[in-house]
Chain A
Amino acid sequence: GQNIDQPTEMTATEGAIVQINCTYQTSGFNGLFWYQQHAGEAPTFLSYNVLDGLEEKGRFSSFLSRSKGYSYLLLKELQMKDSASYLCAAETDSWGKLQFGAGTQVVVTP
């Protein structure tokens, strides 16, 4: 079966760092996507990891360990606008089929 696990909710203060973990167990695996979804809006692409290691993109970084079936999204210097749901999605075949987690709601407080 396919299983993508991520925490339901995380709270952090403005300026802090938050790490959202995602573990996956899928019958096939090609790569790992992270999307951001603000309430009532479309999910938007944040990152894609296909090789092990850390990919940094401004305040956001994403890490992948294929052997451990594990990824995390690191949000640094949190801003109020970062309050959103963060979706982890495993690419389960070479055709790009995505299996999504239920999302992690990040709440940034002043």
Chain B
Amino acid sequence: ETGVTQTPRHLVMGMTNKKSLKCEQHLGHNAMYWYKQSAKKPLELMFVYSLEERVENNSVPSRFSPECPNSSHLFLHLHTLQPEDSALYLCASSQDRGAGYEQYFGPGTRLTVT
């Protein structure tokens, strides 16, 4: 595997379910990101991890809970979501956190909340 991978690619869940999104990067990067992409809207930064430490939380509701057990893996735990949370969730990584570092994106998880 190369680059940034995400599983599952598609997820349908009810509002009372609990599920997790997984991201793995094979690039040896130190920073990882979660973004939300809704139709016709800009990518919204949700969380940033640098060297496994959460360094940014962009006012994200507590029903989204990130976890970074090591520098290669990032999870987004989901519980009691709302229909408006339906979106494409993108994971990204960069060599380090700082200006000028290109972010490498995964293909995303298409989430539908019913």
Q: How far is the CB of B14 from chain A (nearest CB, A)?
A: 24
Q: Which of A40-48, A53-61, A66-74 contacts B (4 or more CB under 8 A)?
A: A40-48
CB of A27 within 8 Å of the partner chain:
no
CB of B74 within 8 Å of the partner chain:
no
B39, closest chain A residue (CB): A102
A97-B56 in contact given A102-B41, A102-B42, A103-B42 (Cβ < 8 Å): yes
Q: Is B4 a contact partner of A100 (Cβ separation < 8 A)? A: no
Q: Is B105 a contact partner of A42 (Cβ separation < 8 A)? A: yes
Q: Is B90 a contact partner of A42 (Cβ separation < 8 A)? A: yes
Total A residues in contact with B, Cβ cutoff 8 Å:
28
**12 contacts across the A-B interface (CB closer than 8 A):** A8-B40, A30-B99, A42-B106, A42-B107, A44-B105, A45-B103, A94-B98, A95-B97, A96-B101, A97-B48, A99-B42, A100-B44
Q: Tell me the bound Cα distance from A43 to B106 in angstroms.
A: 8
**Most A C-beta atoms less than 10 A away, residue of B43, B102, B106:** B43
Residues of chain A from 1 to 43 with CB closer than 8 A to chain B in the complex: 4, 8, 30-31, 33, 35, 40-43
Q: Tell me the bound Cα distance from A41 to B88 in angstroms.
A: 11
Q: Tell me the bound Cα distance from A109 to B17 in angstroms.
A: 44
